[in-house]
Amino acid sequence: MGLCFVLTISFGLCFVSIFAELQRFEHPTKEDGSLSFLVLGDWGRRGAFNQSQVAFQMGRIGESLDIDFVVSTGDNFYDDGLIGEHDTAFEESFTKIYTAKSLQKQWYSVLGNHDYRGDVEAQLSPLLRKLDNRWLCLRSFIVNADVAEIFFVDTTPFVKMYFTDTKEHTYDWRGVPSRKAYIKNLLKEVELALSESTAKWKIVVGHHAIRSVGHHGDTQELVKRLLPVLQANNVDFYMNGHDHCLEHISDTESPIQFLTSGAGSKAWRGDIKGTNREGLNLFYDGQGFMSVKLNQSNSEIVFYDVFGKVLHRWNTSKQLHSSV
């Protein structure tokens, strides 16, 4: 600490300690080595806009898949995140909504741009984990679940518009003292962790889409900065929210599947972008969620609507003993 302080003064070299290495969590797989989880995004509206109906169906599907955990792709609390640790929206939009037995598992969450409009540190606070021990939200972190390694990436700081276009909204940038340094360090950490990973399936989760034909479309900053890192490191899936829809797009240059699950509550925007539709397998702009099932040789992705009806399935298989 003292040395770091001295270095900061003399050389400004202390980023290594300001931006610590990505925190890791171990999550055991089932006895047979398989893993299953649900993916949900853009949800916290105190049950409104079919949030409760989606939650009910998640409970049902979660039960039948015997899920190990839930992944939240961000925009956890609308409209403007939480106002503080004691904001009752936490209970009203999370604890009291996802009440099914099968959903009483660990939730791993990233932050969305709407979360950055409130007290961003409230969502990261250990106090929320005490109020509801399912909750775990961090900016960027890694979950090692043996058969799969999941890399959670804080994508909001990548989007330049949030820093320049501040007339309509304000963002809580505590923790992001310098956008440039933050992104650079984060990419370095993600690249290192991905390159060292020996997991059968490598999954990256962020709030913003890399590829989307929905309302917001592709996130250019991620296409430019994050996508090459994923392509170079054998990532299988990139999962996100942000566009309030369900989508599956296959990368044209790599095996990466882009999966949008941002339909946890308000949806039905009705706009599908006519531009780049290459690799599009599913676009559904109503409410719903996604499930993921993995073992050493197979993966199965399924999308569901607000009635729990299957909209789309995608299977991939890998050789049992190959190293990548």
Where does this chain bind ligand NAG (CB under 6 A)? 49-50, 268, 286-287, 295-298, 300, 306, 313, 315
Instruction: Spot the catalytic one: 169, 216, 248, 312.
Output: 216
Q: Is 27 a known ligand-binding residue? A: no
Cα(2)–Cα(195) distance, integer angstroms: 32
The angle at the Cα of 225, spanning 224 to 226, to the nearest 5 degrees, equals 110
CA distances from 71 to 105, 139, 242 (A): 10, 14, 14
Pair of tokens at residue 180: 């440039």
Taking the least distance from each CB to ligand NAG, the nearer of 225 and 269 is 269
Pair of tokens at residue 106: 């660990």
Taking the least distance from each CB to ligand NAG, the nearer of 47 and 217 is 47
Cβ 299 to ligand NAG shortest distance, Å: 9
How many CB atoms are located within 10 Å of the residue 54 CB? 27
Pair of tokens at residue 138: 């961090």
Q: What are phi and psi of 40, to 5 degrees?
A: -140, 145
Q: How many residues does the chain have?
A: 324
Cβ 295 to ligand NAG shortest distance, Å: 4
Q: Is 238 a known ligand-binding residue? A: no
CA distances from 101 to 43, 61, 166, 293 (A): 19, 11, 42, 19
Taking the least distance from each CB to ligand NAG, the nearer of 277 and 313 is 313
Q: Is 132 a known ligand-binding residue? A: no
Q: Is 116 a known ligand-binding residue? A: no
Taking the least distance from each CB to ligand NAG, the nearer of 35 and 150 is 35
Taking the least distance from each CB to ligand NAG, the nearer of 133 and 298 is 298
Asked if residues 75 and 86 have their Cβ atoms less than 8 Å apart, the reply is no
Q: Is 251 a known ligand-binding residue? A: no
Cβ 322 to ligand NAG shortest distance, Å: 13
Cβ 13 to ligand NAG shortest distance, Å: 47
Q: Is 42 a known ligand-binding residue? A: yes
216 is catalytic: yes
Cβ 130 to ligand NAG shortest distance, Å: 33
What residues contact 224, with CB distance under 8 A and at least 6 apart? none
Secondary structure of residue 186 in the 3-state scheme: helix
Residues with catalytic annotation? 216
